[in-house]
Chains A and B, each alone.
Chain A
Amino acid sequence: LKVYMLLRNLSSAFSICSPKVCIVGSGPAGFYTAQHLIKARQDVEVDIYERLPVPFGLVRFGVAPDHPEVKNVINTFTLTARNSRCSFYGNVNVGKDVSIEELQQAYHAVVLSYGAEGNRRMGVPGEDLAGVYSAKDFVGWYNGLPSCQELSPDLNCETAVILGQGNVALDVARILLAPTDILKKTDITQPALEALVQSQVRRVLIVGRRGPMQVACTIKEFREMVNLPDTRPEMMADDFEGVKEALKDLPRPRKRLTELMMKTALEIPSEKEQERQSKASRVWAFRFLRSPIEILANPDNSRTVGIRLAVNRLEGSGDGARAVPTGEVEDVTCGLLISSIGYKSLPIDPSVPFDSHKAIVPNNMGRVQHTAGLYCSGWLKTGPTGVIATTMNNSFDTARSVVEDMESGTVDVSAARPGSQSISGLLEERGVKPVTFSNWEKIDSLEMSRGEASGKPREKLLTVEEMLQVARK
């Protein structure tokens, strides 16, 4: 018996047990979490599962085509994916092809980073009429998200109204108004480019419930509107009453943005700028203190012809100011209505706690409540706002929690887990063929060479079928 025990102790002392972590979702949150884990522990192995055959989430499908520098982060993620301790499994639908429970059994830790694929509804009559789209779907359409390719938005109207004043709203406005000569050199999809070339849209109103000091957009995007060729602003001076006095107390980012908006609304432009504006064929404007009450339909109730807005006043000031209806209403004619009031996360599995009010997975520093070994990062953790830098910090934070738990024994890494070995077996049984990172690189290569022909950085494949076909060549 003593010899047996000695041998057992020796073998466990020499056994290599690499902690195995599974990450669900291959957008910035997934990749930054993987990056931090791999760097923090030399023994950890990370598997990233992604529903689509292609990685990178919103960096590929959310960031506007005319913001290619933001997409440079893909190079950082590619390095992580090519690390020997990181594996990418595309074309795997977690929740359908494999359950969270199965992943939890196969891995020491599971990190949910699948973001926010739903959107907040306006909750007003007429929301489902033709001509009404969520910004999420509109952006997905021009960025080549396979599930949005049938959107075919009708751009045969003069005025488009966008509800919401965040960066997504401004991206949509900019893509609707930018000269197509600029867009044709980007990775915007060919069908979207063609639709925009034919577009009759000449005026875009960007509408918010509250005032100028509550806009959610940032100065970079507002400045891009001001500088957008062949367009002119139509801001209203009255909207800025009392704003100048409030400026001095504002934190720097809010102050600079408010100053720029004020300048655009109140300052008389230089002669050169006046000339430029007079020649502009397109107009954009911010409208404040307006909330949607009803989307108005044409006589046979098939499509939208306008929107009825409640006129608000502000109670309080700063970030906490509230919009209170005054009783007045205003009708605005438009043929295209895009609601940009927020994305929303969806629950993936009944076994995973979900706060349906905030639409996040309840957690503490990334540790999912009441569920050992389960974590979350990115928008699923904190809600659907934030740029790359925010998501990066958020994901590093979750990775730190995972590492802490491994070190403290909360996550028991002494016992080996099968990781992708068992999951691959399950997937094969179920007829699911994962797409590897090298498979993705074939898709990547093809997209880039197709783009070269038309002077674009890439021509995206638009269907899952095509992607899988190319991946498996």
Chain B
Amino acid sequence: MAASAAVRSSMGLTFRLSRVMPDCNTCPLNRLKSCVSGAANVQRRGSFDSFRTINRNLQTSKGLYHSEEGSSNAEDPEDVVNVVYIDRSGKRIPVKAKVGDNVLYLAHKHGIDLEGACEASLACSTCQVYVSADHFDKLPEPEEREDDMLDMAPMLQENSRLGCQITLTRDLDGIELTLPKVTRNFYVDGHVPKPH
């Protein structure tokens, strides 16, 4: 399942090279000048997913996936961010991620069924996740466009964020991201029934 999802997502990545891209201006790594895809940092590769926007020279990502696995660079402990995804059935899936990883594409890489219909362009709400209380406030404030899209998400909660807008940093270590549960009786218009 994870392998086929990884292949699916890596195949999908070849499409992502040719469509509307996310905005580096809002990325904390860009602001902090610690974007791992920058020229100065070619050696240290984070998740391919976090800089697919820049590396257009890459061949099919299938090839890249292999080169990542075969990388001779030792894992830098400073770079590791421990993440736990809680999938729609409640199962906990711990993932060892790296600083700079994008929560949506990290999920795809690990076969977690977090959809990203608009491919991180803030035009849908299918990547909604609930962020653990301890980490929610550590995230940068959502930009207005993210809030607008969140407003359309079914089962919106106080701790909802769009996964495609979360980039991992050291202080998010231990973050838990819960996918909204499947409710077989959801309301089609996202209407939240008033408690009674």
Provide the residues of chain A in CB contact with B144, threshold 8 Å.
223
| Contact B152 A389, beta carbon cutoff 8 Å | yes
Interface string of A363-406 (1 = CB under 8 A from B): 00100000000000000001101111110111011001000000
Given contacts A68-B20, A252-B151, A253-B151, contact A385 B118 (CB under 8 A): no
- Bound together, the chains give a CA A21 to CA B46 distance in angstroms of 41
Restricting to B82-130, which residues have a CB under 8 Å from any CB of A?
113, 115, 117-119, 121-126, 128
Answer yes or no: A155 CB below 8 A from chain B CBs.
no
- Bound together, the chains give a CA A219 to CA B8 distance in angstroms of 33
| Contact B188 A389, beta carbon cutoff 8 Å | no
- Bound together, the chains give a CA A319 to CA B193 distance in angstroms of 11
How far is the CB of B190 from the nearest CB of chain A, in Å? Answer: 7
Chain B residue at smallest Cβ distance from A216: B189
Residues of B in contact (CB 8 Å), total: 37
| Contact A73 B154, beta carbon cutoff 8 Å | no
Provide the residues of chain A in CB contact with B12, threshold 8 Å.
75-76, 79
Provide the residues of chain A in CB contact with B153, threshold 8 Å.
389
- Bound together, the chains give a CA A69 to CA B11 distance in angstroms of 19
Interface string of B149-165 (1 = CB under 8 A from A): 10111101000000000
| Interface bracket on A | 35 or more
Provide the residues of chain B in CB contact with A72, threshold 8 Å.
19-20, 117-119, 121, 123
A75 interface neighbour in B19, B151, B156, B188, Cβ under 8 Å: B19
- Bound together, the chains give a CA A75 to CA B19 distance in angstroms of 10
Provide the residues of chain B in CB contact with A75, threshold 8 Å.
12, 15-16, 19, 119
Given contacts A218-B151, A219-B148, A257-B151, contact A388 B19 (CB under 8 A): no
Top 6 nearest A-B pairs (CB, nearest first) are A253-B151, A69-B123, A69-B121, A73-B117, A382-B188, A75-B15
Binding site for B on A (CB under 8 A): 39, 67-70, 72-73, 75-76, 78-79, 218-220, 223, 251-253, 256-257, 319, 365, 382-383, 385-390, 392-394, 396-397, 400
Q: 16 extra interchain contacts, Cβ-Cβ under 8 A, other than A70-B124, A365-B184?
A: A67-B123, A69-B119, A72-B123, A75-B16, A79-B11, A219-B148, A220-B152, A251-B192, A252-B151, A257-B151, A385-B188, A386-B188, A387-B124, A387-B125, A389-B152, A400-B182
Query: Can you sample 6 A-B contacts with CB below 8 Å?
Result: A69-B121, A76-B115, A79-B8, A251-B192, A253-B151, A383-B188
